[in-house]
Amino acid sequence: MKLHIFGASGSGVTTLGKLLADKLGIEYFDSDDYFWIKTEPPFTQRRDPNERNQLISKDLSETENWILGGSIIQWGDNLFPDFDLIVFLYLPQEIRIERLKKRELERYGDVIYTDENRVKQFNEFIAWAKDYDNTTGLANRTLKAHKDWLERRKNPVLQIVGNQTLDELINMKIVTPDDR
């Protein structure tokens, strides 16, 4: 089984992906682990696209069943094998932004409000995340770009819209262990 889950930042992709991977006993790969070089603070230095693509290709080829979480819409159409299912998560902006603010505070602490550089990074990140729906030019990862990418897919697609609990998502039976 090769499952791809994606959506806007804060839509629950990583949470759902890890939960499903654990339930199914398969590997979970997060696109952020390939897109970003591990730095402190994290998510500040992009990895070279050729290196990124080599790393993810190698990792995905080493296991038969996996879930890939995160947006990969500009990584190249021939990079990934056919997905058995693509799951697109969409949440209203207000919910995503509140989740992101909470997550960033839990991750980094008060420094996102007290350190001048970190305040700037935090505000830029939130502005970028808000642009997902608005497409004002801050983000290249937008709802329109995601929908355009989905339209070009030949794979089965499940779109989940709204703020479901994890239990509700799991009870949807997106996939079951028998699907592996």
58-101 tens-digit pLDDT:
999 999 999 999 999 999 888 998 999 999 999 999 999 999 99
Please indicate, yes or no, if residue 58 is contained in any of the structural domains.
yes
Domain with 26 in it: what CATH number?
Answer: 3.40.50.300
pLDDT at residue number 136: 72
Please indicate, yes or no, if residue 176 is contained in any of the structural domains.
no
Please indicate, yes or no, if residue 179 is contained in any of the structural domains.
no
The domain containing residue 12 runs over which residues? 2-171
Residue 179 reports pLDDT greater than 60: no
Res. 42 pLDDT band, cuts 50 70 90: confident
Number of domains in the chain: 1
Phi, psi of 15 (to 5 degrees): -60, -50
Q: Note the pTM of the prediction, 2 decimals.
A: 0.89
